[in-house]
Amino acid sequence: MPRKCRPGPRVKQNPGMLSAHGLTCVRGTRPLFSGLDFAVGPGSWAHVRGPNGAGKTSLLRILAGLAQPEEGEVRWNGEKVGSEDFRRELMYLGHRAAVKEDLTALENLEFSASMDGVDLTREQAEDALARFGLAGREDLPVRFLSAGQKRRVLLAQTVARPAQLWILDEPFTALDVKAVDFLSNLVAEHVRSGGIAVMTSHQAIPLAPGQVVEL
Amino acid sequence: MSAVRPPIAAAAQPRAGVHPMKALMAVLRRDLLLAMRRKAEVLTALFFFLIVSSLFPLGIGPEPALLRKIGPGVLWVGALLATMLGLQRMFYSDHLDGTLEQMVLSSAPLPLLVTGKVIAHWLVSGLPVVVLAPVLGLQFDLDAGALWILTLGLLIGTPVLSLIGAVGAALTLGVRGGGALLSLLVLPLYIPTLIFGAGAVQAHLSGQGAAGHLSLLGALLALALFFVPWATTAALRISLE
C-alpha cells in the first residue's frame, strides 16, 4: 500500500509543486549546467549531486529565487518563484552560518522566526534548540559555539517555523553522527507529511531514496 | 536529541501573513542589540564627530567672528563624515554571514526590513550627533537661537543622510574596495542636505530666518523616505545575484 500523507500540522490545503524548466546557469563565461528540467512534488525530495564547482549551490539559489537563471524558469504551483506566497512556504538554509555571532542562540532563532511572522515563546524556542542538543547553551553568544553548534542554531529553524519547501544546502556539514541522524529523520518526517525537500550533500543521505538531480 | 516530533510553531501558529510592522521592529531590535554588543563601532563614529569638529576651533584660534561663520558648515561636514563611517557595515556584515539572504527570502516585504535597518543606523549614528551638536556648537560661539536651528536641522537632515547612504551601501555591497567607492558615490548626493542644513543656520545668523531651509530639508526627508526603501531593495537584489 502506498504511504499516505499523515494528517500532521505540515499538511497544506493545496500542496505545492516545485518545477524547473530548461534551467541554464552561467558563471562568468563558463556554463555550469544547461537545459535542466525536473519537478519535485509533495511528499518527495530531490538530492542535487555533482562534483565541487558543478553548480549545486547556484542551482539551489536559483530554486529559492535568490538568483536568476540565464535561461529557463522555476515555478512553484505554476507561478514563477519569488512571490510572497512562495517565500512563506520556503525554508532556505544556505551553506553559510546565517547566524549573528554577537547574538545568543535564542535571539538568533527568535529573530529568524519573527522575520517570517512566527512569534516564538521562550519555551518554544528553547524546546527547538534543545532538540538540536543546545540545551543549556541558549543564552551564550553564538561566537562561543563550535561550527557544528552554529549549524544547529540555524537548523533549529526547521522545527521552529512551518514551511512546505525545504531547500537545504549541505545541511550535514560539520554535524556529528547523532545530529546527522536527527536531521535526516526530521527531513524524512517532513517529506512523509507532504513536504518537499531539495538538498545537496556529498555524503550519502540516510533517507528513503529520492529523486536525484545530477549536475 | 529526542525523537522527531511535529514542529512546535506549526500547530499553534495560523499561517497568516507577516504583520509588516512586526518584521520591521524585529530588524530594528536586532540591529540595536548588535550595536549594544559592539559598542566600539558606535563610539568610534561619535568620537570621530567630536574630534573633527573640535580640531577646527583649535586650529583656527580664538576668532569668534570667523568661528561663527564656519561653525555650522564644519559641524555639518563632521556629521556627514561620521554618518559615512558606519554606512559600509549597514548591509556588509549581514551579507557576509548570510543573514541578508535570509531577510531577502523571508516573507516580510524587503523594503520594510530595509527601513528597519536604516532607522537602526540613524538611531546609532545620527541621533548621537544631533544630541552632541549643540554642545560642540558652543566652541564656535553660536548663540542659543543658532544652536537650536542647528540641532533642528540635524534632526531633520541626519535621517536623510542615513537613507541616501543605504542606497549607496546596498549598491557597493560585494564590490572590492567598496568603502572608498561608497564615499565617492554617496558624498556628492549629500551636498543638497549639507547646503540646506548649514544654510539654515547661516540664514538665521544673518537674520533671514531658517524656515525656508528647514522646509526644504523636510522635503528632502519626505522624498528620501518614499523612494529609498525601494531603491535599496532593488540594489540589494542586484548585489545578491
Taking the Cβ of residue B40 and every Cβ of chain A, the question of whether any pair is shorter than 8 Å is answered with: no
ipTM above 0.90, yes or no: no
What residues in A contact B27, CB-CB < 8 Å?
115
| Chain position carrying cell 511535529 | B6
Q: Are A41 and A69 in contact (CB under 8 A)?
A: no
The model's pLDDT over A67-114, given as tens digits with 9 standing for 90+, comes to: 888 899 999 988 888 888 888 889 998 888 788 999 999 999 999 888
Task: Summarize the confidence of residues A182-206 as an average pLDDT.
Answer: 88
Task: Summarize the confidence of residues A48-66 as an average pLDDT.
Answer: 89
Interface of A with B in 153-212 (CB under 8 A): 158-162, 178-179, 182, 185-186, 188-189, 193
| DSSP secondary structure string for all residues of A36-104 | EEEEE-TTEEEEEE-STTSSHHHHHHHHTTSS--SEEEEEETTEETTSHHHHHHEEEE-SS--S-TTSB
Cell of B10: 506549526
Q: Are A48 and A213 in contact (CB under 8 A)?
A: yes
- Give the global pTM: 0.88
What local confidence, expressed as pLDDT, does residue B14 receive?
Answer: 43
Q: Are A41 and A30 in contact (CB under 8 A)?
A: no
Question: What does R_g of chain B's alpha carbons equal in angstroms?
Answer: 20
pLDDT reading at B227 higher than 80: yes
What local confidence, expressed as pLDDT, does residue A7 receive?
Answer: 40
The model's pLDDT over B132-176, given as tens digits with 9 standing for 90+, comes to: 999 999 999 999 999 999 999 999 999 999 999 999 999 998 888
Query: How many contacts does A have with B, using Cβ atoms within 8 A?
Result: 134
DSSP state of A8: -
Q: Residue A54: which pLDDT band, with cuts at 50, 70 and 90? A: confident
What's the gap in Å between the CA of A32 and the closest CA on chain B? 15
DSSP state of B206: T
Comparing A170 with B15, the larger pLDDT belongs to A170
Segments of chain B assigned E as strands = none
Instruction: Report the residue count for chain A.
Output: 215
Indicate the range of A5-19, B84-98, B159-173, B183-197 predicted with least confidence: A5-19
Interface of A with B in 20-59 (CB under 8 A): none
Cell of B131: 544630541
Q: Residue B29: which pLDDT band, with cuts at 50, 70 and 90? A: very high
What is the set of domains in chain A, with CATH numbers? 31-214 (3.40.50.300)
Distance CA B222, CA A111 (A): 29
